[in-house]
Amino acid sequence: MTDTPSRILVVDDEPSITDFVSYALKKEGYSADVVNNGEDAFAYASKNNYDLFILDIMLPGIDGYELCRRLRAKTNAPVLFLSARDTELDKVVGLEIGGDDYLAKPFGIRELIARVRALLRRGQGAEYPGASNAITASGITLDEDAHTASGDKGDIDLTPREFELLACLMKSAGKVVSREDLLRDAWGWEYLTETKTVDTHVKRLRDKIAAAGYDPSLVETVRGYGYRFKA
């Protein structure tokens, strides 16, 4: 019996891009569907369970940013943006609305596949380099192998990026972690100078913690520096 291949939805209005990306994904053993506009993409996402979305930003109708916002209301599956726009502002906007990674066009197929593998590992809970078994602090247990966050009130439903953010904070429980360090460790964006995206994701993380019945103040703001998870 073989494992079911990960399902990926590729959304881009350039046939040369969709042909290139879908071929590469299928060659790697993934299942890839292709659509060329935001409306059809959202319809596909509403009817199917995808493990990853690859979105162009400049789409006809619903653009990639708006599509990501709508997807985030339905699913925690990771979102990888593709775009010919490669400014810091574009990356920040993509991250702030819930994107997990951003790849500028033109890109190499090896880099694309590497990003896809990393996002799927995190999204599906497979072990990845540097993973430990579990971290427990203030009644919450974070299991990096299973990619779950839970406690006596049940699971906390997190996107891959929110999980990475919580992991960074819990690994340093009781200590302040700067926004710059969180960007580097949770996003891998060492060169991104705009740190407000961290604040946006921390707010979402607190909302998820509260929705699961836990105390959102476990993630404390240290004004002028960063955040701390209560030990």
Give a yes or no: residue 129 inside a domain: no
**How does the average pLDDT of the chain come out, rounded?**
86
78-91 pLDDT, tens digit per residue, is: 999 988 776 667 77
What's the CATH code of the domain at 32? 3.40.50.2300
Give residue 172's domain range: 135-229
Overall average pLDDT of the 28-35 stretch: 95
> What percentage of residues in the chain have a pLDDT greater than 90?
51
Confidence of residue 193 (pLDDT cuts 50, 70, 90): low
What's the CATH code of the domain at 157? 1.10.10.10
141 and 108 in one domain? no
The angle, 0 to 180 degrees and rounded to 10, between the axes of the packed helices 88-96 and 64-72 is: 20
Contact residues for 63 (Cβ-Cβ < 8 A; gap 6+): 38, 57
90 and 142 in one domain? no
114 and 36 in one domain? yes
Task: Determine if residue 175 is left, alpha or beta; phi over 0 gives left, psi from -120 to 50 gives alpha, anything else beta.
Answer: beta
Overall average pLDDT of the 117-138 stretch: 66
**Over 60: is that where the pLDDT of 209 sits?**
yes
Overall average pLDDT of the 191-197 stretch: 63
139-182 pLDDT, tens digit per residue, is: 999 988 778 899 999 999 988 888 889 999 999 999 999 988 88
Confidence of residue 217 (pLDDT cuts 50, 70, 90): very high
23 and 88 in one domain? yes
95-105 pLDDT, tens digit per residue, is: 778 888 888 88
Q: Tell me, what's the pLDDT at 21?
A: 94
Q: Tell me, what's the pLDDT at 54?
A: 97
Q: What is the 3-state secondary structure (H, E, C) of the chain?
A: CCCCCCEEEEECCCHHHHHHHHHHHHHCCCEEEEECCHHHHHHHHHHCCCCEEEEECCCCCCCHHHHHHHHHCCCCCCEEEEECCCCHHHHHHHHHCCCCEEEECCCCHHHHHHHHHHHHHHHHCCCCCCCCCCEEECCEEEECCCCEEEECCEECCCCHHHHHHHHHHHHCCCCEEEHHHHHHHHHCCCCCCCCHHHHHHHHHHHHHHHHCCCCHHHEEEECCCEEEECC
Model pTM above 0.85? no
**Over 70: is that where the pLDDT of 133 sits?**
no
95 and 22 in one domain? yes
Q: Measure the CA–CA gap between 151 and 167, rounded to whole angstroms.
A: 15
Overall average pLDDT of the 212-222 stretch: 95
Give a yes or no: residue 149 inside a domain: yes
Q: Tell me, what's the pLDDT at 2?
A: 47
112 and 163 in one domain? no
Domain count, the chain: 2
Q: Tell me, what's the pLDDT at 178?
A: 92
115 and 12 in one domain? yes
23 and 113 in one domain? yes
97 and 181 in one domain? no
Longest dimension (CA), the chain: 54
Give a yes or no: residue 210 inside a domain: yes
72 and 13 in one domain? yes
**Over 50: is that where the pLDDT of 128 sits?**
no
Q: Measure the CA–CA gap between 222 and 224, rounded to whole angstroms.
A: 6
53-79 pLDDT, tens digit per residue, is: 999 999 988 999 999 999 988 898 999
Give a yes or no: residue 31 inside a domain: yes
113 and 157 in one domain? no
| Peptide bond just before 106 cis, omega within 30 deg | yes
Using alpha carbons only, give the angle 54, 130, 79 rounded to the nearest 5 degrees: 10
Q: Measure the CA–CA gap between 223 and 77, rounded to whole angstroms.
A: 32
